[in-house]
């Protein structure tokens, strides 16, 4: 029989106040196989761990139970201590008598008897534990970053700087994302382009970064360290390898297409580069708008191109790559103004969203930085900014706070005031949220020194009356209804995940939350990882956030990838499912229940097998298996049976 030792932690008074730890040690020492039991004030401290090591050797223990806090806190600590003393780490178990006992009970005697049962249960488990070895998994030391906004660019640069290869995939023809559209950034008012373009250029030139713009991820298979990825490179209809980006073709193109980059406030040809600082600076042909593709005639761009780079017959290319880790940084869209009918969305030309206003403010924008309204190009003298347009509205739109609007609306009003000195900006708000370094000061300056009128209340309705755009709102501080005849209205529309992200997550098999944003593995402690190993997340795709936070999260995700790649190989926890091949009838129920695609069918043997690299040890297949062929290592049916008996008090 195994020689088992039990160590009962006081956790200061966290456990000892409610649980009689001495009695626990005394009672469990009477159990079969328990040759040693002792309590100690802080087991996780250095002397506590030393005690464990010493007793393993002295008492020749071949099983150890630490009765303490949750295994998620210190299981790895004590397993390492056990290993140091020569014990197989999987012979060390944690009995949680803090979160599941002392913290949730008051009655000392009953809590003590419960603690005894919890420890007895783990004694039963340990009795039958096997010694296991971690499963080694090779790593492909190349990362895939999906999304070429500031999050993707930052993550790619960090990984590449650490010496690993990165593929940066972007669906548009240029990287840069939404940040490239912004005029100036809060709270420092530095020019967005000026701080972004050096990073774009660096990403474009980095020897470790392979830029794949105008491309989309089609399919992902495999597992952490060894993913197979299929990427579709959409045909730009231009041979980018010889194109110099001179722009002659764009000048000749007779088509007029509303510019997505300028939020429809300007037009470009069917062959276009979205903005002058694009990386790569190469044009694509929008087939839906191209006159040649629609009518079979034109080809003016082809005639104008001296180096003959136009390729009307170019086809999409499928590229297969192997990568070890994937960062998803697909960013966001804003709730379409069209959806906000009560705010005149789509009907009133002078109702625009924040990104459109950014373009009006931008020196490289359609009005060269002059604030001119879309309907007639006049300079607006009264501008109403509406915050929470579609945010914090669980009944009709989005329940969450979009986080950045308080700050960027204040910035908008401020920049407007700097350009139109006799103009009057109004801001309707629910609350002003300025959590961030220098943010509150920025807002205070705008409110006190810049003459911006803040109105606390929601806007009910916006409609056009002649040249004016009438805003009906309420000021909840005075309790009065407010009517403003504005020249321009800017809606701070809710940030929403991209529609294409929903498609992508299905391909990646990663999770999203109720609002469609990517889910992190733990909201506080694992904010840059997906719950599935090898997948990392960054930027607004995970939830609304501003640029500094996005960059921090991107660097965090990159760091996780780098620490993954820094290892020689991965070690997979061996406490996972295994199959008794003689018992398996090949019914494949396990395959249908496995959330990790770790169960596979072996045609030759006619049985279901376990892919050890993919299995996370969740136990779903073990529970589903009708004939008991699938078992969890160190959590076998017989272990569970005796654990249940022990937890019920013996018999």
Partner 1 sequence: MAKVAYYPGCALKDRSSHLDRSARDATLKLGFELDELPTWTCCGAVPPVSEERVMNLVAPSRILKDVRDSGRDVLVTICDFCYNTLKRTNYSIRNNEITRRRVNAFLADDEPERDYIEKKEEQWVDYTGDVRVVHLMEYLRDEVGYDAINRNLTRPLEGLKIAPYYGCVMLRPQNEIQLDDPENPAIIEDFVSALGADPVSYPYRTECCGSYLSVSSPDASTRLCYRILTSAQKHGADAMVISCPLCFYNLDSRQKAIAESYPDFKQIPVFYFTQLLSLALGVEEGRQGFDRHFVDVAPVLDMIREKTGKGGRE
Residue closest to 325 by CA, chosen among 181, 514, 528: 528
Stretch that binds partner 1, among 28-36, 63-71, 101-109, 459-467 (CB under 8 A): 459-467
Stretch in the footprint of partner 1 (CB under 8 A) among 19-27, 99-107, 369-377, 460-468:
460-468
Quick check: 381 binds partner 1 (CB under 8 A)? no
Span near partner 1 by CB under 8 A; candidates 38-46, 296-304, 416-424, 463-471? 463-471
Say whether residue 470 binds partner 1 (CB under 8 A): yes
| 583: nearest Cα among 540, 628, 547, 631 | 628
Q: What are φ and ψ of residue 285, in 5° steps? A: -100, 125
- Does 205 bind partner 1 (CB under 8 A)? Our answer is no
Residue closer to partner 1 (CB basis): 466 or 514:
466
Instruction: Kindly indicate which of the ranges 154-162, 240-248, 287-295, 340-348 contains the residues binding partner 1, using the contact rule CB under 8 A.
Output: 340-348
Which of 381, 461, 522, 569 touches partner 1 (CB under 8 A)?
461
Say if residues 531 and 519 touch (Cβ distance below 8 Å). Answer: yes
User: Residue 342 or 376: which CB sits closer to partner 1?
Assistant: 342
| Cα pseudo-dihedral 308, 311, 313, 315, rounded to 10 | 140
Which is nearer to partner 1, 275 or 397 (by Cβ)? 397
Query: Do 87 and 61 meet the contact criterion of CB atoms below 8 Å apart?
Result: yes
Half-sphere exposure of 527 (CA within 13 A, CB side): 15
Report if residue 467 touches partner 1, rule: CB under 8 A: no
- Residues 427, 385 contacting (CB under 8 angstroms): yes
Site string for partner 1, 291-330 (x = CB under 8 A): ----------------------------------------
Which residue matches tokens 């003959």?
A: 308
Q: Rounded to the nearest whole angstrom, what is the least distance from the CB of residue 472 to partner 1 in the complex?
A: 9
Judge contact between 231 and 169, C-beta under 8 A.
Answer: yes
Q: Which is nearer to partner 1, 470 or 510 (CB)?
A: 470
- Taking CB under 8 A as the criterion, the residue among 313, 422, 465, 582 binding partner 1 is 465
- Residues 18 and 9: their CA atoms lie apart, in Å, by 12
Across the strands, what pairs with 389? 493
Read off the tokens for 228. 């197979």
Q: What CA–CA distances, in Å, run from 466 to 345, 380, 442, 603?
A: 17, 15, 36, 74
Distance of alpha carbon 135 from alpha carbon 62, whole angstroms: 22
Nearer to partner 1, 106 or 465 (CB): 465
One character per residue 417-456, x = contact with partner 1 (rule: CB under 8 A): ----------------------------------------
Among 341, 480, 506, 567, binds partner 1 (CB under 8 A): 341
Least distance from partner 1 to the Cβ atom of residue 487, Å: 17
Q: Taking the complex as a whole, how short is the minimal distance between the CB of residue 426 and partner 1, in angstroms? A: 19
Give the binding range for partner 1 (CB under 8 A) out of 108-116, 184-192, 225-233, 339-347: 339-347
Report, in Å, the least distance between residue 335 CB and partner 1: 14
Q: Using the rule CB under 8 A, which residue among 293, 312, 463, 578 binds partner 1?
A: 463
342 binds partner 1 (CB under 8 A): yes
The three-state secondary structure class of 270 is coil
Helices (H) and strands (E) in the chain, counts: 17, 34
Q: How far is the CB of 407 from partner 1 (least distance, A)?
A: 28
Q: Which lies closer to partner 1 via its Cβ, residue 134 or residue 349?
A: 349
DSSP-derived 3-state class of residue 271: strand
Q: Which residues contact 85 (CB under 8 A, 6 or more apart)?
A: 52, 53, 54, 56, 57
Smallest separation (angstroms) from partner 1 to the CB of 463: 4
Torsion from C-alpha of 636, 639, 644, 649, nearest 10 degrees: 180
Closer residue to partner 1 in complex, CB, 219/347: 347
Q: Does 480 bind partner 1 (CB under 8 A)?
A: no
Instruction: Print the binding letters for residues 345-364 with partner 1: x by CB under 8 A, - otherwise.
Output: --x-----------------
* 8 Å CB contact between 321 and 329: no
361 within 8 A of 370, measured Cβ to Cβ = no
Which residues in this chain contact partner 1 in the complex, by CB under 8 A?
341-342, 347, 461, 463, 465, 470
């Amino acid at each position: 029989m195994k020689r088992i030792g039990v160590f009962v932690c006081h956790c200061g008074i966290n456990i000892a106040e409610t649980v009689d730890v001495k009695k626990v040690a005394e009672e469990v020492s009477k159990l079969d196989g328990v040759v040693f039991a002792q309590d100690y004030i802080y087991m996780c401290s250095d002397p506590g761990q030393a005690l464990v090591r010493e007793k393993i050797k002295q008492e020749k223990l071949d099983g150890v139970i630490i009765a303490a806090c949750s295994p998620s806190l210190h299981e790895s600590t004590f397993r390492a201590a056990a290993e140091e003393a020569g014990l197989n780490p999987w012979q060390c178990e944690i009995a949680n008598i803090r979160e599941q006992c002392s913290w949730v009970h008051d009655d000392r005697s009953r809590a003590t008897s419960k603690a005894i049962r919890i420890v007895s249960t783990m004694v039963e488990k340990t009795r039958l534990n096997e010694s296991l070895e971690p499963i080694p998994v090779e790593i492909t030391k190349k990362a895939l970053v999906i999304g070429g906004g500031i999050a993707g660019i930052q993550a790619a640069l960090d990984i590449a700087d650490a010496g690993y290869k990165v593929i940066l995939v972007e669906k548009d023809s240029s990287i840069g994302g939404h940040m490239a559209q912004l005029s100036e950034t809060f709270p420092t008012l530095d020019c967005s382009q000026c701080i972004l373009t050096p990073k774009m250029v660096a990403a474009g030139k980095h020897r470790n970064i392979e830029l794949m713009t105008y491309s989309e991820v089609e399919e992902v298979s495999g597992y952490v360290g060894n993913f197979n990825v299929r990427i579709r490179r959409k045909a730009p209809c231009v041979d980018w390898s010889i194109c110099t980006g001179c722009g002659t073709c764009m000048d000749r193109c007779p088509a007029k297409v509303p510019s997505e980059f300028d939020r429809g406030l300007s037009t470009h040809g069917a062959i276009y580069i979205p903005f002058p600082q694009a990386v790569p600076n190469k044009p694509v042909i929008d087939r839906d708008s191209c006159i040649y593709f629609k009518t079979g005639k034109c080809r003016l761009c082809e005639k104008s191109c001296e180096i003959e780079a136009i390729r009307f017959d170019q086809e999409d290319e499928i590229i297969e790559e192997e990568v070890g880790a994937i960062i998803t940084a697909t960013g966001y869209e804003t709730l379409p103004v069209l959806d906000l009918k009560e705010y005149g969305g789509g009907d009133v030309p002078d109702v625009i969203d924040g990104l459109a206003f950014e373009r009006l403010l931008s020196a490289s924008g359609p009005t060269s930085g002059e604030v001119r309204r879309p309907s007639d190009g006049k300079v607006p003298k009264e501008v109403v900014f509406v915050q929470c347009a579609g945010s914090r509205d669980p009944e009709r739109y989005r329940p969450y706070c979009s986080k950045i609007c308080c700050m960027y609306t204040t910035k908008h009003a401020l920049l407007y005031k700097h350009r139109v000195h006799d103009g009057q900006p109004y801001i309707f708000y629910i609350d002003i949220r300025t959590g961030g370094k220098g943010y509150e000061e920025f807002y205070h300056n705008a409110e006190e020194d810049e003459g911006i009128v803040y109105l606390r209340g929601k806007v009910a309705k916006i409609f056009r009356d002649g040249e004016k755009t009438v805003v009906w709102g309420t000021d909840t501080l005075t309790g009065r209804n407010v009517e403003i005849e504005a020249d321009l209205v800017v809606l701070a529309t809710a940030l929403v995940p991209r529609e294409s992200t929903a498609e992508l997550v299905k391909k990646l098999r990663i999770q999203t939350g109720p609002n469609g944003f990517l889910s992190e593995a733990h909201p506080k402690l694992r904010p840059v990882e997906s719950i599935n190993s090898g997948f990392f997340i960054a930027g607004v795709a995970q939830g609304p956030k501003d640029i500094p936070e996005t960059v921090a999260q991107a660097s965090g995700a990159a760091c996780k990838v780098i620490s993954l790649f820094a290892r020689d190989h991965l070690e997979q926890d061996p406490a996972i499912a295994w199959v008794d091949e003689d018992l398996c009838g090949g019914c494949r129920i396990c395959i249908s229940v496995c959330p990790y695609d770790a169960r596979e069918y072996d045609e030759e043997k006619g049985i279901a097998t376990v892919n050890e690299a993919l299995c996370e040890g969740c136990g779903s297949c073990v529970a589903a298996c009708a004939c008991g062929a699938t078992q969890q290592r160190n959590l076998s049916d017989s272990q569970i049976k005796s654990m249940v008996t022990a937890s019920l008090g013996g018999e």
